[in-house]
Chains A and B, each alone.
Chain A
Amino acid sequence: MNPSEMTDSQVVIEVRERNKELFGEIIRRYQTRLTHYLRKFIRQNDELEDVLQVVFIKAYENLFGFDVTRGFSAWIYRIAHNEAINHIRKYAKVSVALDEVEMILRDESIDVPGDFDRSLVQAQVEASLGAMKEKYREPLILFLFEEKTYEEISDILRVPTSTVGTLLARGKKILKEDLLKHGYGTK
């Protein structure tokens, strides 16, 4: 079977049992998405590359720890999440960096009308997320910018699905209030 036609779990089984080289397929599938995710926490390119490399190496080393009946995406995001947290704690800095395209927020309730300067809004959203408590920031980033479902966020952050809903609702409220306080958005 062509590797590009295989599911993540099939690739993992192949890597574990027969073909280590096929791990390259996993890297190709996830490097852009994980770069995108880690970019939220790590601004420096060289630091981001180092962390991303560690994520893939840890994923490879622990492939037998992955349950093939469950989602691989959430599993590798979990590793990336842990590494991002380790990086933040190691360097004791919390900052959030968004791409310009990400400024179309997934949730309409906290979107900002187009008559504002997008770069200013982006800077404010980054600042608001950076100032937010970690427990609200993490699910919000995964939901708004990574487009993860509640179940996937539950798997990545290891919190109950119902708690994800609560944290997201609270996080969105905090973000909206903070944007309003700084003159962005409408009530």
Chain B
Amino acid sequence: MEQNNNTIESRVMENIASGRVKLRSRYLFLAERVAFGSAILFGALAAALIFSLIFFYVRETETLRYFVFGRAGLYAFLESFPFGSVIAFVILSFVTALLLRRADVSYRKPFVIIVGALLFFIVGTGFILAKTRAMDMLENVSRQENFTGHMMRPFFGQRKGMMRNYGVVGRVIKIDGDEILMHTPEGVRELRFTQLQGRSEDLVPGAFIMGIGARDGGQFRMKQYRVVPEDEARMMRRRVHEMK
């Protein structure tokens, strides 16, 4: 085996001396590390941004408020909840965790700790972002008629011209018997009360309401509603305001 070892050494050194085997450039390794580190950082920041967008969306819209109607509000909640953003968040977090797992130093720690630290970073950064004006600025960007605006819209639940099937939110324009005309984020919409148990006195033109029911062609048959307090569903108010 001694002779074999010498053979191996001479063969390898011969390949090196002849130039057939070369050192890979240090800059190549540096570029790899920078690209890898950037991918991890980008993934974590993008996940934090999406988490912040979800948090902002839930806080600024009526989506969670549908539960005040009890089980009947479930469909309206499911319809308005930003599942796309949640899926994007989960995928980004997962991919970032996998990249982090492959990093040169992180393998020494258990995967659970790595994922925990990553989620802590993402959620922490997301909360900080949500507390800044960044989300309001992004919401403004999403209203612009350009590529960035179009890309941002799904994160703010904007589906232009698409009427919802189970929930409605907007400002009352006119009440005529059983029929209401409303400004909704999707446009002007006609509603009809059906199976409604009484009507409160605060349902007047100008009131901002949310309701559940079912879509019937161009109309919406509303079964329950509530007047939305001023500090709720602010994003929907802004959108309705723009529709005027």
Name the CB-closest residue of A to B5: A31
Interchain CA distance A78-B12 in the complex, whole Å: 19
Against A, the Cβ 8 Å flags (1 = close, 0 = not) of B1-19 are 1001101110111011100
How many residue-residue contacts, CB under 8 A, span A and B? 68
Q: Which of B1, B5, B24 contacts A61 (CB 8 A)?
A: B24
Interchain CA distance A63-B25 in the complex, whole Å: 9
Main secondary structure of the interface of B (DSSP, over half): helix
Q: Does B217 contact A (CB under 8 A)?
A: no
Q: Does B198 contact A (CB under 8 A)?
A: no
Name the CB-closest residue of A to B27: A64
Against B, the Cβ 8 Å flags (1 = close, 0 = not) of A42-69 are 0001000100110011001111110100
Residues of B within 8 A of A52 (CB): 8
Residues of B within 8 A of A61 (CB): 21-24
Against A, the Cβ 8 Å flags (1 = close, 0 = not) of B169-194 are 00000000000000000000000000
Q: Does B26 contact A (CB under 8 A)?
A: yes
Q: Does A119 contact B (CB under 8 A)?
A: no
Interchain CA distance A110-B108 in the complex, whole Å: 27
Interchain CA distance A49-B21 in the complex, whole Å: 17
A27 and B9: CB pair below 8 A?
yes
* Size category of the binding interface on chain B: 20 to 34
Q: Does A18 contact B (CB under 8 A)?
A: no
Q: Does B147 contact A (CB under 8 A)?
A: no
Interface-located stretch among A88-96, A160-168, A169-177: A160-168
B232, chain A: closest CB distance, angstroms: 47
A57 and B13: CB pair below 8 A?
no
Interchain CA distance A41-B31 in the complex, whole Å: 35
Q: Given the known A-B contacts A23-B16, A57-B15, A160-B107, are A28 and B9 also in contact in the complex, defined by CB atoms under 8 Å?
A: yes
B8, chain A: closest CB distance, angstroms: 5
Q: Given the known A-B contacts A160-B110, A163-B110, are A67 and B104 also in contact in the complex, defined by CB atoms under 8 Å?
A: yes
Q: Which of A53, A64, A154, A163 contacts B23 (CB 8 A)?
A: A64
Residues of B within 8 A of A154 (CB): 107-108
B97, chain A: closest CB distance, angstroms: 14
- Where the two chains meet, the residues of A that have a C-beta atom closer than 8 Å to any C-beta of B are 16, 20-21, 23-24, 27-28, 31-32, 35, 45, 49, 52-53, 56-57, 60-65, 67, 154, 158-163
A-B contact pairs, 15 of them (CB 8 A): A16-B23, A16-B26, A31-B5, A31-B9, A53-B12, A60-B21, A61-B23, A62-B24, A64-B24, A64-B26, A64-B29, A154-B108, A160-B109, A160-B111, A162-B110
In the A-B complex, list the 8 residue pairs whose CB atoms are closest, starting with the nearest: A64-B26, A158-B107, A27-B9, A31-B5, A56-B12, A65-B29, A160-B110, A64-B29
